[in-house]
Amino acid sequence: MKKHCFFNRATRGVTLVCVAVLLTAAARSTNCLARGDAKSTLVGSRPNIVLIITDDQGYGELACHGNPTIKTPNLDRLHAESVRFTAFHVSPTCAPTRASLMTGRHEFRSGVTHTIMQRERLALDATTIAQVLAKAGYQTGIFGKWHLGDEKPYRPAQRGFTESFIHGAGGIGQSYPGSCGDFPNNSYFDPYVLHNERVEKTTGYCTDVFFNQAMKWIEANRERPFFAQIATNAPHAPLICPPKYQEPYERAGMNQEAAAYYGMITNIDDNIGQLLSQLRELGLEERTLVIFMTDNGHPHDQLHNAGMRGNKGQPYEGGTRVPAFFRWPGTLEAGVDVGALTAAVDLFPTLAELAGATIPDGLTLDGRSLVPLLRDRNAEWLDRYLFTHVGRWDPGQAAASKFNQCAVRSQRFRLVNNRELYDIVNDPGEQQNVIDEHPQVVVDMRRAYDEWWADVQPCLVNENVPLAAENAFATLYREQVRDQ
Please identify every residue annotated as catalytic: 94, 147
Residues 6+ apart with CB under 8 A from 321: 59, 87, 88, 89, 297, 308
Residue 142 phi/psi, 5-degree rounding, is -125, 135
Residue 229 phi/psi, 5-degree rounding, is -105, 110
Q: Angle at the Cα of 60 (from 57 to 63), degrees rounded to 5? A: 105
Q: Regarding beta strands 288-294 and 420-423, do their DSSP bridges make them parallel or antiparallel, or are they unpaired?
A: unpaired
* Helix ranges restricted to H, 296-382: 317-320, 347-355, 371-375
Q: How far is CA 325 from CA 247, 322, 389, in A?
A: 29, 10, 25
Q: How far is CA 67 from CA 58, 82, 83, 94, 403, in A?
A: 11, 19, 20, 23, 33
Q: How far apart are CA 301 and CA 259, in angstroms?
A: 14
Residue 211 backbone zone (phi > 0: left; psi -120 to 50: alpha; other: beta): alpha
Q: How far apart are CA 241 and CA 419, in angstroms?
A: 41
CA-based torsion, 439, 441, 443, 449: positive or negative: negative
Q: In what order do the strands lie in the sheet with 48-54?
A: 198-201, 192-195, 163-166, 139-144, 226-231, 48-54, 288-294, 324-327, 83-85, 336-338
